[in-house]
């Protein structure tokens, strides 16, 4: 039954609309989010939707790389930063821009029910930082002069 639930969940994520994902205010496009590991969508879906709406194309989080532990790719360039203080480093990758920019995928090979709290805390800390840093980079690169 658990595998069937995961299949239904992934199927819903690949459908025309995503019920549980939050879209950015004012967004009119339909977005879908695919979570590779069962249960990851519930933890990551809304945050991944935010990254997709912000134009981020990829976030790679790798524990133990210091100031390059978090790598963010956007149309405005690359950004690297360390793990936020008091957040347990966990490995994950968010890839957006699939299906013409309306779909995203999150993968976290180490994700389990036992550590879902660690992943939620990491995603809740890292993705808003990535969005903020990408917005600042965009502002810097697109200002006149």
Q: Are 17 and 28 in contact, with CB atoms under 8 Å apart?
A: no
78 phi/psi in degrees, rounded to 5: -105, 145
Find how far residue 144's CA is from the centre of its chain: 30
Residue span of the structural domain in which 103 resides: 2-142
Could you tell me the pTM of the whole model?
0.76
pLDDT tens digits, 108-137: 999 999 999 999 999 999 999 999 999 999
**CB-based contacts of 90, cutoff 8 Å, min separation 6:** 61, 63, 108, 110, 111, 115, 118, 119, 122
pLDDT tens digits, 52-91: 999 999 999 999 999 999 999 999 999 999 999 999 999 9
Question: How many domains are contained in the chain?
Answer: 1
């Amino acid at each position: 039954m658990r595998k069937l639930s995961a299949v239904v969940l992934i199927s819903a994520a690949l459908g025309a609309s995503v019920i549980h994902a939050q879209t950015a205010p004012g967004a009119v496009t339909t977005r879908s989010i695919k979570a590779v590991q069962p249960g990851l969508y519930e933890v990551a879906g809304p945050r991944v939707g935010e990254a997709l709406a912000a134009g981020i194309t990829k976030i790679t989080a790798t524990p133990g790389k210091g100031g390059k532990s978090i790598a963010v790719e956007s149309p405005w360039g690359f950004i690297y930063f360390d793990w936020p203080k008091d957040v347990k480093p966990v490995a994950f990758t968010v890839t957006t821009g699939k299906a013409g920019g309306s779909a995203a995928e999150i993968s976290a090979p180490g994700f389990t029910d036992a550590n879902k709290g660690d992943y939620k805390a990491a995603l809740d800390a890292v993705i808003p930082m990535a969005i903020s840093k990408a917005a600042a980079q965009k502002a810097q690169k697109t200002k006149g002069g």
